[in-house]
Amino acid sequence: MSKKNNLSPVERIKTSSDGLRGTLKESLEDGLTGALYEDDQSLIKFHGLYQQDDRDRREERSAKKLEWLYSYMIRLRLPGGFLTPEQWIGLHHVAGEHSTGTIKITTRQTVQLHGILKSHIKPTIQSFNTLQLDSIAACGDVNRNVTCSAHPNESPVHEEVFKYADKISLLALPKTRAYYEIWLDEEQIADKQEEDPLYQDRYLPRKFKIGIAIPPNNDVDVLTNDVGLIAIIENNMLVGFNIAAGGGLSATHGNANTYARLATMLGFVDTEEKILKVVYEIMTIQRDYGNRTDRKLARLKYTIDKLGVAEFKKELEKRCGFTLEESKYYSFTDRKDHYGWKQNHEGKWYYTLFVENGRVLDDNTAAIKTALFEIAKTGKANFRFTGNQNVILADISEEDKSIIEELLEQFGLDQHTHKASALRKNAMACVAFNTCPLALAEAQRYLPSLIDKIEPLLEKHSLQHEEIILRMTGCPNGCGRSPAAEIGFVGTAYGHYNLHIGGDRTGERLNTKYKDSLNEEQILQTLDELFAVYKSERTIGETFGDFSNKKW
């Protein structure tokens, strides 16, 4: 446990925030600046918002002695990534009225809107509230959006497993009414009783992430979460979950104490009561033992490594009052999204649409935003987001399928999905420039054009049908989960990336760094060489990641 006088500055901001209220109301009313007061910039994250500025315009603004162009990004809390068509329509309008207009599907199955001006934050949240949507705890030192394997045709018990995302999200919501008071004008109760046994007044030392996978697909990259639940299904019945803990992907360039780590399997639990108890008590251990002095070393992965897995498990079982059973057998066979039409066991139809890097907009490749709006207007399809930044048009009845098919056809989306190469369809990039303040290099704005240049190399070596998982992030924080890719690019400086290789296809082995700080020409030359060796020496069916791990 951390000594009080060494606490990181964010610790003071949290404990003195009066239940995450801080001076947010005053900050919002200050018309002299587009920014918030300093402490409130940390607190607003717990409400699902980030203060950002347009990094493309920093120099120009500074030269004119103008304040940077501040705006806000909002991230919704969407356990398991589900929206009704009515909610999509509402989101479309909110995006148009208050943000840049682009809807960004994230790697954790939710959506973000960027470029919201300070005066528009409240109307944005109020509009979302009328749609029964919120952004509570989508960021900050609390449990984030709970992810869950997206595709309902994966298993007959998908719905049952999916409900756990909501249950866990509710279990781990902060108890403060601050969100309702600040954004929705709920009256503050004078003598408020907001006991929060989980978060207390100090919240967690760091962000906390929980994911649920339904084997054989590991689309959520379950082992990269602080807590990963793997559904164990026997005879088409959910019998419980294997619980893994201590995943996390971030590292800091030049800081050897930081590292990416996959979660360690702790054991199996069966009943709902026990499952929720285990998740809850893992969080209380992290609350009590996590590092509160150095935020770079504050995630659960470091707490577990500091305590040791055996000691951590002992403490967990003590807090739970029961022991975990031995983990049960499961097997992951892939992580990809299954594009196009699929049917589930009840006969409902699902169309997985390719959305490059999760950016829903109309551009010269496709009018995805307009098309999704038209699809939502039919009221015939729900929207399910995948951990690979795509969208599934979901739960469509047999008689309604042709209506959706016609719209996909009309807007060329079926062609858009099918014509994309295997490499492109399995790739992801984080946001990075122009909004991410931590970006060292481009990611989502650059990866599509880099893939244009990698595709001919794959064709040259007759590897174009390989389903290689390639991911790019603009810094080593790993938001596009590049450490868990077969080919991972990690930004080091503008136009430069470390090249990582050797991750597996199922998300059970991380990659390692192969080359430092390459520019585009060096990236293409290196990949050309690697592909040539892979093509000539691989064994039958050997993936690029497995081969690289063995060879280099």
286 or 434: whose CB is closer to ligand SF4? 434
Among 479, 501, 510, 527, binds ligand SF4 (CB under 6 A): 479
283 to 312, contacts with ligand SRM by CB under 6 A? 299
Active-site annotation holds for 207: yes
285 or 463: whose CB is closer to ligand SRM? 285
The rounded distance, in Å, linking the Cα atoms of 423 and 326 is: 38
Active-site annotation holds for 320: no
CB of 429 to ligand SF4, least distance (A): 8
Active-site annotation holds for 75: yes
Q: Is 42 in the site for ligand SF4 (CB under 6 A)?
A: no
The rounded distance, in Å, linking the Cα atoms of 436 and 203 is: 24
The rounded distance, in Å, linking the Cα atoms of 259 and 224 is: 12
Give the residues across from 227 on adjacent strands.
210, 245
- Contact 190/124 with Cβ under 8 angstroms? no
Give the residues across from 269 on adjacent strands.
241
C-alpha atoms less than 13 angstroms from C-alpha of 217 in its C-beta half-sphere: 18
Among 224, 264, 286, 386, binds ligand SRM (CB under 6 A): 224
- What single-letter amino acid sits at 497? Y
390 or 473: whose CB is closer to ligand SF4? 473
Residue 66: contacted member of ligand SRM, ligand SF4, none (CB under 5 to 8 Å, by partner type) = none
Closest by CA to 301, choosing from 243, 242, 229, 249, is 249
Number of H helices, E strands in the chain: 18, 20
253 or 535: whose CB is closer to ligand SF4? 253
- Contact 353/237 with Cβ under 8 angstroms? no
Q: Looking up tokens 């909004």, which residue turns up? A: 435
36 or 436: whose CB is closer to ligand SF4? 436
Q: Is 260 in the site for ligand SF4 (CB under 6 A)?
A: no
Q: Is 390 in the site for ligand SRM (CB under 6 A)?
A: no
192 to 211, contacts with ligand SRM by CB under 6 A? 207, 209
The rounded distance, in Å, linking the Cα atoms of 81 and 124 is: 19
Q: Which helix (H) or strand (E) holds 237?
A: strand 237-245
Q: Is 77 in the site for ligand SRM (CB under 6 A)?
A: no
340 to 369, contacts with ligand SRM by CB under 6 A? 358
Residue 473: contacted member of ligand SF4, ligand SRM, none (CB under 5 to 8 Å, by partner type) = ligand SF4
Active-site annotation holds for 144: yes
CB of 470 to ligand SRM, least distance (A): 15
DSSP symbols for 286-298: HHHHS-SS-GGG-
Q: Is 376 in the site for ligand SF4 (CB under 6 A)?
A: no
Active-site annotation holds for 380: no
Q: Is 481 in the site for ligand SRM (CB under 6 A)?
A: yes
Q: Is 28 in the site for ligand SF4 (CB under 6 A)?
A: no
The rounded distance, in Å, linking the Cα atoms of 337 and 469 is: 11
- Contact 429/439 with Cβ under 8 angstroms? no
- Contact 216/151 with Cβ under 8 angstroms? no
Q: Is 108 in the site for ligand SRM (CB under 6 A)?
A: yes
- Contact 425/458 with Cβ under 8 angstroms? no
Site string for ligand SRM, 415-454 (x = CB under 6 A): ---------------xx---xxxx----------------
The rounded distance, in Å, linking the Cα atoms of 198 and 295 is: 20
Q: Which residues contact 267 (CB under 8 A, 6 or more apart)?
A: 242, 243, 313, 323, 324, 325, 326, 327
408 or 479: whose CB is closer to ligand SRM? 479
CB of 531 to ligand SF4, least distance (A): 26
Active-site annotation holds for 384: no
CB of 522 to ligand SF4, least distance (A): 21
The rounded distance, in Å, linking the Cα atoms of 373 and 368 is: 8
Structure tokens at 201: 């007044």
Alpha helices (H) in 394-446, listed in sequence order = 401-410, 413-419, 422-425
- By CB under 6 A, the count of residues binding ligand SF4 is 13
CB of 106 to ligand SF4, least distance (A): 10
Residue 176: contacted member of ligand SF4, ligand SRM, none (CB under 5 to 8 Å, by partner type) = none
Q: Is 384 in the site for ligand SRM (CB under 6 A)?
A: no
Q: Is 436 in the site for ligand SF4 (CB under 6 A)?
A: yes
- Contact 161/212 with Cβ under 8 angstroms? yes
Say which DSSP state 252 is in.
B
Among 17, 27, 99, 106, binds ligand SRM (CB under 6 A): 106
Q: Is 477 in the site for ligand SF4 (CB under 6 A)?
A: yes
User: Can you tell me whether residue 374 is helix, strand or coil?
Assistant: helix
Q: Which residues are catalytic?
A: 75, 144, 207, 209, 430, 436, 475, 479
Q: Which residues bind ligand SRM (CB under 6 A)?
A: 50, 52, 73, 75, 106-108, 110, 112, 144-145, 207, 209, 221, 224, 248-250, 299, 358, 430-431, 435-438, 477-481
Residues that bind ligand SF4 (CB under 6 A): 430-432, 436, 438-439, 443, 473-475, 477-479
